[in-house]
């Protein structure tokens, strides 16, 4: 049972570290420094970036709509890798 106490202590340490990190991000986002200068908006992303974003979104939808095909590919690839190793 002592191993569970160790895991609980490790979890608390991780929570404290992540809370400190994310609170500093929230502070930076919502409470900017007084000497911070305003950064102008750059506009819409370029055509290449839009194409990549579109491909990524379509890939996510495709994986969500046809998961058996993706799972079959992953199983085939993992079996192949296991035979190599």
pLDDT above 70 for 62: yes
Compute the distance between CA of residue 36 and CA of residue 42 in angstroms, rounded to an integer: 18
Confidence of residue 2 (pLDDT cuts 50, 70, 90): low
User: Average pLDDT of 43-71?
Assistant: 93
pLDDT above 70 for 15: yes
What's the CA angle centered on 29, arms 24 and 44, to 5 degrees? Answer: 135
Compute the distance between CA of residue 24 and CA of residue 30 in angstroms, rounded to an integer: 10
Q: What is the pLDDT of residues 17-45, one digit of tens each?
A: 999 999 998 988 888 777 767 778 788 88
Tokens (6 digits) for 69: 């095909």
* Average pLDDT taken over every residue of the chain: 89
Domains in the chain: boundaries:
1-33, 46-85
pLDDT for residue 3: 74
Question: Could you give the angle at which helices 47-65 and 67-84 cross, rounded to 10 degrees?
Answer: 90
């Amino acid at each position: 049972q002592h191993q569970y106490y160790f895991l609980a202590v490790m979890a608390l340490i991780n929570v404290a570290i992540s809370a400190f990190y994310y609170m500093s991000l929230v502070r930076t986002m919502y409470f900017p420094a007084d000497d911070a200068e305003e950064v102008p908006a750059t506009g819409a992303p370029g055509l290449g970036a839009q194409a990549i974003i579109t491909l990524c979104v379509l890939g996510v939808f495709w994986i969500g709509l046809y998961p058996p095909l993706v799972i079959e590919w992953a199983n085939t690839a993992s079996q192949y890798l296991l035979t190599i190793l």
